[in-house]
Chain A
Amino acid sequence: MRYDALIIGAGLSGLGAGIRLAQFGKRVAILEKHSVWGGLNSFYKLEGRLFDSGLHAFTNYVPRGERTRPLGKILRQLRIDHDALELGEQTWSAIRFADAELKFSNDFELLRSEIARVFPSETANFDRLVADLPDYDVLDGRRSGVWARAELTKYFREPLLVEMLMCPLCFYGSAHERDVEWEQFAILFRSLFLEGFARPAGGIRAVLDVLVKRFKAEGGEIKLRSGVRRIVIDGGEARGVELENGAVLEAEHVFSSAGRVETRRLCGAADEAADVGRLSFIEAIAVTERTPRESRFDGTAIFFNDSPRFEYARPDELVDARSGVICTPNNYATPRPLAEGMLRVTLLANYDRWTALGDEDYAREKARATELAFAAAARFAFDVRGREVFQDTFTPRTIERFTGHLGGAIYGSPRKSHDGSSGVERLSLIGTDQGLVGIVGALLSGITIANRREQQSTRTAP
């Protein structure tokens, strides 16, 4: 049996690409190793509770009718109604450092006024930065080689402001240690500050349901528990895939969301270990009877740092509790409030150290890292300690096991392939290592690369 297109991975980029290819009339199947779709942003059930594996904030939020921004574009391309996602907006979020705070919300004026309050001499510079911010066309993957820290230093005299702006942007999308590429900075700045945060009322599962339904309605096929063992290559061209169960599926074109190095390995190349991303994370989750508001916290996400410089690098220790993200899904204005309180804390973690632990040490270290995470939350947001009715923590090991991303690197390899090329003909990279991250970013990545492929296939000889 022969497909027009096979997609490796039923994460957001795979689903985005799949819907587009099916709309183009292609015979397409998505092959997913796991028993459930979603990839890095999936869901799981523990003791009767449904958890999102990734969701802090649905970034890039714009209201219905705003069509030129990424969210408007993807909804239009996928023909999904804005209302179907039931997005509730955040209350407010903040960047909190040891002795300064900047609040922001979906109203950009809040961040502007906060800059004016905390860094009065930088107000005009901040406006200049916003005016200069490239409106990056997602179809254009060119990179200038400029780094955000250096570029920001040209705008601001206050080093603290540079550090504060870097903090949320790195945590929400930099695959590089200590910095972020200027173009990626611009994309993230828009998606966090000029657009905003929201939460789908039904969590990520509801979003995935909408996407999967759309894909099937267009005639697409999803095969779960269908890990790809090998990409079949002949004459330098991908011809199909071999599944872990030995079945071989042929295709005109293969799209892979597995990651750059991961995909190279599926092609039989053993090199490129140096391109595996170094940044991984732990996430500690607490469920409480009390809501965060009852603990007098009505914010949404806190990006914290309490060392002089914001480091954003693989720690030597198991985790680095000096900076991180604290988030609660309760404080979004969704139509149906959550029944229980929930807190999520993300910290940078060292993949090698976590994978070197034996089972007993692993359990103990996980408990210790969780304590550090909740202590940070108590300092920068609210205290759940002693009040947890349920607790779960995942580590770089968990991330690698469930998503296949080497090194547990959520944002993938620092080496991106912005045009989706993989080095092998008829094989394209989509998702994380194509360069667009986050829920909306991954969807846009899949859509963009599928569109480009369709456009190329309508090119006829003159």
Chain B
Amino acid sequence: MTNDEIVLAIKDIIATIAPDEELVHLKMDVRLREQIELDSMDFLDIVMELRKRYGVQVPEQDYMELATLAGCVKYLGPKLADKPLKLASRA
């Protein structure tokens, strides 16, 4: 996956968890929680979907790395480099 695809992958996961959220305007460097209604419960679902779709394990102490889209790209980049993008949401 390229960096752009990682952003798509994360947005697609969020769209599955929170189908009512508007995601096109999400900024890269602002915490996701400040842009959309995401609480710690939803966060667990992002981690869960990453594992289910891509087999990527994110241990609890690394959850913070996923706070922004830019953080996701940085943290997940190496882990997702050789994985193909999978889109599941209705969007």
**Min C-beta distance of A217 to chain B, whole Å:** 14
Q: Which residues of A contact B (CB under 8 A)?
A: 23-25, 65, 67-68, 73, 76-77, 79, 139, 447-448, 451, 454-456, 458-460, 462
Find out whether the CB atom of A458 lies under 8 angstroms from the CB atom of B18. no
- What residue of chain A has the Cβ atom nearest to residue B44's Cβ? A451
6 contacts between A and B (CB under 8 A): A73-B39, A139-B40, A455-B44, A455-B60, A458-B59, A462-B61
8 Å CB interface, B6-38 against A: 17-18, 20, 37
Q: How far is the CA of A460 from the CA of B42 in the complex (A)?
A: 21
Find out whether the CB atom of B41 lies under 8 angstroms from the CB atom of A451. yes
Interface size on B, residues (CB 8 A): 19
Find out whether the CB atom of A25 lies under 8 angstroms from the CB atom of B44. no
Q: How far is the CA of A462 from the CA of B60 in the complex (A)?
A: 11
Find out whether the CB atom of A456 lies under 8 angstroms from the CB atom of B60. yes
Q: A23-B48, A73-B41, A76-B42 are in contact. Are A67 and B61 (CB under 8 A)?
A: no
Q: How far is the CA of A139 from the CA of B43 in the complex (A)?
A: 14
10 closest cross-chain pairs (CB), A and B: A460-B59, A459-B60, A67-B37, A458-B60, A458-B59, A451-B44, A455-B60, A77-B41, A24-B48, A68-B37
Q: A67-B18, A67-B37, A73-B39 are in contact. Are A454 and B61 (CB under 8 A)?
A: no
Find out whether the CB atom of A77 lies under 8 angstroms from the CB atom of B60. no
Find out whether the CB atom of B59 lies under 8 angstroms from the CB atom of A459. yes
Contacts of B18 in A (CB 8 A): 67, 76
Q: How far is the CA of A451 from the CA of B45 in the complex (A)?
A: 9
- What residue of chain A has the Cβ atom nearest to residue B60's Cβ? A459
Find out whether the CB atom of A65 lies under 8 angstroms from the CB atom of B51. no
Contacts of A456 in B (CB 8 A): 60
8 Å CB interface, B49-65 against A: 51-52, 57-61
Asked if B72 is an interface residue, CB under 8 A from chain A, the answer is no
Find out whether the CB atom of A458 lies under 8 angstroms from the CB atom of B41. no
**Min C-beta distance of B14 to chain A, whole Å:** 11
Contacts of B37 in A (CB 8 A): 67-68
Q: A65-B20, A462-B61 are in contact. Are A25 and B41 (CB under 8 A)?
A: no
**Min C-beta distance of B63 to chain A, whole Å:** 8
Q: A67-B20, A459-B61 are in contact. Are A77 and B40 (CB under 8 A)?
A: no
- What residue of chain A has the Cβ atom nearest to residue B18's Cβ? A76
- What residue of chain A has the Cβ atom nearest to residue B40's Cβ? A139
Q: How far is the CA of A211 from the CA of B45 in the complex (A)?
A: 18
Find out whether the CB atom of A25 lies under 8 angstroms from the CB atom of B59. no
Q: How far is the CA of A67 from the CA of B44 in the complex (A)?
A: 16
**Min C-beta distance of A20 to chain B, whole Å:** 9
Set A68, A454, A462: member contacting B44, Cβ < 8 A: A454
Set A25, A67, A459: member contacting B52, Cβ < 8 A: A25
**Min C-beta distance of A306 to chain B, whole Å:** 43
**Min C-beta distance of A330 to chain B, whole Å:** 32
Contacts of B60 in A (CB 8 A): 455-456, 458-460
Contacts of A462 in B (CB 8 A): 61
Contacts of B85 in A (CB 8 A): none
**Min C-beta distance of A315 to chain B, whole Å:** 41
Q: How far is the CA of A67 from the CA of B14 in the complex (A)?
A: 14
Q: How far is the CA of A462 from the CA of B52 in the complex (A)?
A: 24
